[in-house]
Structure 1
Amino acid sequence: MSQPANLARYIRQVRYPRLGEEGQRRLMAGKAIVVGCGALGSVAANTLARAGVGLVRIVDRDFVETTNLQRQMLFGEDDVARQLPKAIAAAEKLRGINSEVEIDPIVADVDATNVERLCGGMDVIVDGTDNFETRFLLNDVALKHNIPWVYGGCLGAEGQTMTILPGETACLGCLMQECPPPGSTPTCDTAGILGPIVNVIASIEALEAIKILSGNRQSASRMLTVVELWDNTVRQIDVSGLREQVDCPACKRGEYAWLSGRQGSHTAVLCGRNAVQLSHPGASISLEELARKLAGVGEVSRNPFLLRLKVEG
């Protein structure tokens, strides 16, 4: 029997019985937000768009650099030359891959002032971030608004991922209890990262999102999955009891310290950049105005998203 045209391109996954036509239709009506479009986020966004998720929102503050190309699959040298933001470059690629899905790129730094707006109306949140402050913020907004989210992180040849189903499973706060201070944990700058582990962890994240979006929430993992590719090990850690064992303010009392702004700094170590971002709440500036002010200082180049200043000496 022939499939409707909009299902025909997905026939290989529709034939998987645990997804099926009904699951595919749910996917096509689903909305996912990928927060961070670097290594993990680009793989996850690519997988979700190819799978036919109806809307994929991509939020990232960064732009494409040459050092990204080793592991961030949606970008190429032309994106570096054009100095494109990752969200914009990713959207260009994904629209060419699947014109049937809506890609919503947003160039923004996710913080307590905008995270609820960005995640509003989404059916699942996928973690593509590179810092724990943003992850704890996502944890808060997911719990407050009952949005499933999938945590993931990679370093070296190791990665881990965990699915959080609000009201059902342990959350990130149950798992970690305290957020590591900015700069206190290794990054890909200091410890390095191998491309294959990114693909493994992001693929698991994407599949967890697909389970949730397709109406197969009951099949979502209740484990913390840790993969170490260099040593060829996979561990599944049972975290099902943590929610009852830990006095988590977010889970137990609905206290969202990160979302309220009571916790969190205005600095972030940028993975792979040997740099620290300083954020000033509410601050904004016109790139055109700034370019005029800096014109006498050095060579200024800019596009609608980015301004660079090159100073001799």
Structure 2
Amino acid sequence: MERVMEIGRYSRQVLFQPIGVEGQLLLRKARVAIVGMGALGTALSSQLVRAGVGFVRLIDRDIIEPSNLQRQSLYDEADAEQGRAKAEVAAEKLRAANREVEIEIAIEDVNSQNAERLLADVDVIVDGTDNFEVRYLINDVAVKHNIPWSYGGAVSSYGTTAFFRPGHTPCLVCLFGPNTSGGGHDTCDTVGVIAPVVSIVASYQVAETLKYLTGNSDSLANSVTYLDVWKNEFRSVKFGVSKEACPCCQKRQFTSLTGRANGLTVSFCGRRTIQVRPSTGLGVSLPKMAQQLANFGEVRHNPDLLRCDFGDKQITLFADGRALIHGVDDEMTARSLYARYIGM
């Protein structure tokens, strides 16, 4: 009966010979975590859930805003108006597309304290983030626990992707060096992004993930792929060998995992938003905070988050004490607002 159900829903995928019935059954047993439910994450999750991956964990720290709608395909205007959590809305849309898949959400900011809890129990980790700090965390977890992961990045009209397999390919540190937490990378804030490059990079990531999960590892690209849809450029550079002196995959020094979680994250793609995260695990009562903040601005809340609108500035507060401070440019102002209304 199980085989009939698989063929019925996934008949066109099963007809693709490298997958077939056996590959489809392997997908049903597979577990995937997607880090980031923005532009890449929405495209990645839609393809993986519709392909029949049995378990998908959606991890995201952010809420939906109007500037997301140009490229983040699972969300609509009503979601943005309500300022709902991306992971929550994505899960609703994806469950409606395929109820056979178990979808779990984590409305969290991936950091050194929770990365292993969120990522170490799956078959593949898929990168839908927009910053290298989190990618180095993913790489540490992947190497430490021998889990393949799919790297993807898209900005402006260009993107890069690679599928890393610990023990078989170099790791992220081999390719780009140790994490120095430095800037200098293009972001959506500085150069923008168009939707076509997002879809193409996500499709490459999903294709590599499906190859691995269906037992077709011999077909993996084993390369770093770069493309620019506006300039009509495409390059694929084959992996070399792992660097003998690599501190991560050779010496097994997981510096991103052993570092302290940052108290502040500044870069949010496409708007003036600064994240404040307490250095200690501060839990808050959202209903109680809603009552307190109602004296200062319009408040909306649900079990996952609270949104308070002060006019020119807004605060989105999560149950773990993390907050997004909207309408500010500098860390001092963000911390001041957090201390004033939430308490440090």
The residue correspondences of 1:79-98 to structure 2 (distance < 5 A) are: 79-98=79-98
Report how far residue 294 of structure 1 moved: 2.1
SS at match of 1:252: coil
Instruction: Determine if contact 1:23/1:215 at 8 Å carries over to the other structure.
Output: yes
Q: Which stretch shifts more, 250-259 or 217-226?
A: 217-226
Listed one character per residue, the Cα deviations across residues 1-49 of structure 1 (whole Å, up to 9, x for unaligned) are xx61232211111111111111111011101110101000110000000
Flag the structure with more relative contact order, 1 or 2, with Cα contacts below 8 A and sequence separation at least 6. Answer: 1
Report how far residue 184 of structure 1 moved: 3.7
Report how far residue 214 of structure 1 moved: 1.0
Gaps of 5+ in 1: none
Report how far residue 212 of structure 1 moved: 1.3
Report how far residue 150 of structure 1 moved: 0.4
Report how far residue 103 of structure 1 moved: 1.0
Report how far residue 307 of structure 1 moved: 2.0
For residues 263 and 296 of structure 2, the distance between their equivalents in structure 1, rounded to whole angstroms, comes to 28
Matched residue, 2:287: 288
Report how far residue 238 of structure 1 moved: 2.2
Matched residue, 1:11: 11
SS at match of 1:62: coil
Listed one character per residue, the Cα deviations across residues 234-288 of structure 1 (whole Å, up to 9, x for unaligned) are 10012323x13x62111111110001126x6333211123222232232232222
For residues 27 and 146 of structure 1, the distance between their equivalents in structure 2, rounded to whole angstroms, comes to 19
Report how far residue 63 of structure 1 moved: 1.0
Change (3 A) 1:34 1:312: closer
Matched residue, 1:279: 277
For residues 182 and 277 of structure 2, the distance between their equivalents in structure 1, rounded to whole angstroms, comes to 13
The residue correspondences of 1:51-90 to structure 2 (distance < 5 A) are: 51-90=51-90
The residue correspondences of 1:30-45 to structure 2 (distance < 5 A) are: 30-45=30-45
Change (3 A) 1:118 1:312: closer
For residues 96 and 300 of structure 1, the distance between their equivalents in structure 2, rounded to whole angstroms, comes to 29
Gaps of 5+ in 2: 313-344
Tell me the matched-pair count.
308
Give the alignment's Cα RMSD to 1 decimal: 1.7
The residue correspondences of 1:78-227 to structure 2 (distance < 5 A) are: 78-179=78-179, 181=181, 183-227=183-227
For residues 75 and 180 of structure 1, the distance between their equivalents in structure 2, rounded to whole angstroms, comes to 34
For residues 158 and 274 of structure 2, the distance between their equivalents in structure 1, rounded to whole angstroms, comes to 24
Report how far residue 118 of structure 1 moved: 1.1
Identity %: 44
For residues 16 and 61 of structure 1, the distance between their equivalents in structure 2, rounded to whole angstroms, comes to 36
Report how far residue 219 of structure 1 moved: 1.9
Change (3 A) 1:237 1:248: same
Instruction: Determine if contact 1:182/1:267 at 8 Å carries over to the other structure.
Output: no
Listed one character per residue, the Cα deviations across residues 211-245 of structure 1 (whole Å, up to 9, x for unaligned) are 1111122322211000100011110012323x13x
Report how far residue 175 of structure 1 moved: 1.0
For residues 42 and 24 of structure 1, the distance between their equivalents in structure 2, rounded to whole angstroms, comes to 22
